Amino acid sequence: MAHLAPSGKWDARYLGPVPHDSSYYAKAMLGGVLACGITHAGITPLDVTKCNMQVNPGKFNGLLSGLKTIAAEEGSKGLWKGFGPTFIGYSLQGMFKYGLYEYFKDTYMNLAGEENSAKYKGAIWLAGSASAEFFADIALCPLEMTKVKIQTSPAGTFPVPMGAALAEMSKLRVETRYPFGSLVPLWSRQIPYTMAKFFFFEYFVSLFYSKLLTEPKETYSKTTQLGVTFASGYLSGIVCAVVSHPADSLVSLMGKPANRGKSIGTIASEVGFASLATKGLGTRVLMIGTLTGFQWWIYDSFKSAMGMGTTGGK
């Protein structure tokens, strides 16, 4: 039976179409690089506008008007500020987020055993994703801090090329708290986001295969399975955007020159929770819903091409 290890015992690493060995986890890491690096870098203009809406809502009060304002003031290049650190940072984050999720999910399922894995699968999804994101954010943090500084600094006040920006962040580390000054707010944004992203993705996939597509998952074409992947990813992305938006606003506000040296608590109290939770939320829902849907689609397309099967719905 596919779920039994060579020893004859139940083992979560043998639940899928192929054994989850070191090669499997390495391929999952590569799939994560493709899923996160490409998608995050591709929506840089939306990210630039969203960050500026959070930092300067008086000037940037809408997505379309914000895009026009940045393009008018800085040209089309201004819309792509931070592309380099976004691509590298989120490639690293995706590598650990997806690869370690597969590893931690299997590990926690084996610790729980066959019966408890079925009974408490939601808790395992949450624990696996939180564990993976903890490490993913350490890799992301220096590049995320640099990206936000590039995107929210007035034109001409901070270097835009990635190498020069990283050097400037390092030189100003006392002021910028580079490289890990934003790690705690990043964890507070990304860990709930990732827990929601993976839990609700797995939940929506299971709903599709239990309520709409009731035949065994493997009987459906790869196109159908990847359609389920994209739809479930998009729906989970909407949930994630709402859950993580207040902390995302804080990360952006920390890069604002006027907030230099202020604590996270001070910034939060000055701005107010309502503003943190709502400013730029519509743009973030559009951005994260689309982003998450495509991330899961790219990841599962890669897994499928590698013969690893699509995620969830087992």
Higher pLDDT, 14 or 6: 14
Domain parsing of the chain, residue ranges: 12-305
Instruction: List Cα–Cα distances, 64 to 67, 70, 283, in angstroms.
Output: 5, 10, 10
Q: Which residue has the higher pLDDT, 244 or 74?
A: 74
Between 91-100, 105-114, 226-235, 269-278, the lowest mean confidence (pLDDT) is in: 269-278
> Which pLDDT score is estimated for 146?
96
Other beta carbons less than 10 A from residue 53's beta carbon: 24
Query: Bridge-partner residues for 4, per DSSP?
Result: 10
Domain 12-305 class, CATH top level: mainly alpha
Please report where in the chains the tokens 């939060």 appear, as a residue. Answer: 268
Residue 93 CA to residue 193 CA, distance in Å, equals 13
Comparing 256 with 304, the larger pLDDT belongs to 304
Quote the CA–CA distance of 41 and 207 in Å, as a whole number.
Answer: 31
Q: Which residues contact 274 (CB under 8 A, 6 or more apart)?
A: none
Instruction: In whole angstroms, give the CA distance from residue 82 to residue 70.
Output: 14
User: What pLDDT, on the 0 to 100 scale, is given for residue 314?
Assistant: 65
Which of 210, 32, 35, 193 lies closest to 121, judged by CA? 210
Weakest-pLDDT range from 4-8, 109-113, 144-148, 196-200? 4-8
Is a pLDDT exceeding 90 seen at residue 120?
A: yes
pLDDT at 33 over 70: yes
**151's torsion region: left (phi>0), alpha (psi -120 to 50) or beta?**
alpha
Per-residue pLDDT tens digits for 167-218: 999 999 998 899 999 999 899 888 988 998 999 999 999 999 999 999 999 8
- 10 Å Cβ neighbour count for 156? 8
Residue 98 pLDDT greater than 60, yes or no: yes
What does pLDDT average to over the chain? 91
pLDDT band at 1 (very low <50, low <70, confident <90, very high): very low
